[in-house]
Structure 1
Amino acid sequence: MPACGKCNQSKGNSYWKDWILADVKLSPKNRNVENLVDIIIRLEKYESWSNPKRIDFEVIVGKETWEKHWENCERLHKVMQESQQLSDEIKQTIETWINKSDAGI
């Protein structure tokens, strides 16, 4: 099923309907998404439109390669979070400097 990046990460390898109704972080049920029944009906119609093929990437590329891919992904996310924190600190430092400059300090 089509999903945004954060939802897709939350969903992981679980079946879309199981994830939607699950008590996991970012699931539509957990986020109290309105009209959840309507959304499920639309997705079931979408799914029945074609015969979707489930692809097990780990089987295709191998367990070691697949695990390495997710390790890289986790490292990348960690570095991006660290970069955002540093960027926020820089922004705050610059704002403080500008405010002191404007006040003549």
Structure 2
Amino acid sequence: MRFRKPLTILSRTSSVTNSFVQAILPAIEPTPDEIAEALAILGMTPKTITCAYCGTASTDWDHLCPLVKGKRPTGYITEIRNLVPSCGPCNQSKSGADWHVWMTGTAKGSPRTKGVTDLEARLGCLKRYVAWGQVRPLDLRVLGGAELWDRHWANLEALTAGMREAQLHAAQLRENIVGRLKGSAGLSSG
């Protein structure tokens, strides 16, 4: 059994970045009729919802077009036309990848690597869903206002710089603590 390495302050930068993205993106709550229409396009009903990618039990709604790429919003938002039912493993495996590339690719946990037998039918169904949804990325900088947009990302950069500085300080503090514990025979020398 391995000992877990201690976390660093910087190991949380992706969570902070994701928070900065999620904080500005709208989420449009679908009506029951909109959900029913979306499911019908996928060949499902509210009682027969399965993962659109692999067909197992659905646990999540996954963003077909990812919200984040390269640590910035893609312009897609949370709306029913950009959401499909997904199982947890597919949602996690797909992450921010393009759905078609991921489904047909060799990523661990992709439908192709899972051996999904009706993969071509699922791809066709999702292509019809995309054509129905007509989801396009929004110009969020224009919609939000360029000055506010730029200040928002400057705030993230300042916070990340502060996290880097805090990590340097924390590393020195940890080194001092470990050194003093070893010096007082509080730790084994291994």
Question: Does TM, normalized by the shorter one, top 0.5?
Answer: yes
Displacement of 1:2 in angstroms is 3.2
Alignment partner of 1:90 is 2:151: no
Judging by fraction of residues, say which structure has more helix: 1
| Higher RCO structure (Cα 8 Å, ≥6 apart) | 2
Mark the runs of 5 or more structure 2 residues left unpaired by the alignment. Answer: 1-64, 75-98, 105-122
CA distance in 2: counterparts of 1:85 and 1:60, whole angstroms: 38
Alignment equivalent of 1:56, drawn from 126, 139, 153: 139
CA distance in 2: counterparts of 1:57 and 1:8, whole angstroms: 15
TM-score, normalised to structure 1, is 0.56
Give the superposed CA RMSD.
3.5
Counterparts of residues 3-82 of structure 1 (less than 5 Å): 8-9=70-71, 12=72, 40=101, 42=103, 45=123, 48=127, 49-50=129-130, 51=133, 52-82=135-165
Q: SS where residue 102 of structure 1 aligns? A: coil
Judging by fraction of residues, say which structure has more strand: 2
CA distance in 2: counterparts of 1:47 and 1:73, whole angstroms: 35
Match for residue 66 of structure 2? 2
Q: SS where residue 85 of structure 1 aligns? A: helix
CA distance in 2: counterparts of 1:47 and 1:77, whole angstroms: 38
Displacement of 1:39 in angstroms is 6.7
CA distance in 2: counterparts of 1:80 and 1:88, whole angstroms: 12
Q: How many residues are aligned here?
A: 77
Displacement of 1:56 in angstroms is 1.3
What percentage of residue pairs aligned between the two structures are identical? 21
CA distance in 2: counterparts of 1:64 and 1:54, whole angstroms: 20
CA distance in 1: counterparts of 2:103 and 2:166, whole angstroms: 39
CA distance in 2: counterparts of 1:63 and 1:69, whole angstroms: 10
Alignment partner of 1:102 is 2:166: no
Q: SS where residue 53 of structure 1 aligns? A: coil
Change (3 A) 1:81 1:47: farther
TM-score, normalised to structure 2, is 0.33
Displacement of 1:84 in angstroms is 1.5
Q: Which amino acid aligns with 1:61?
A: G
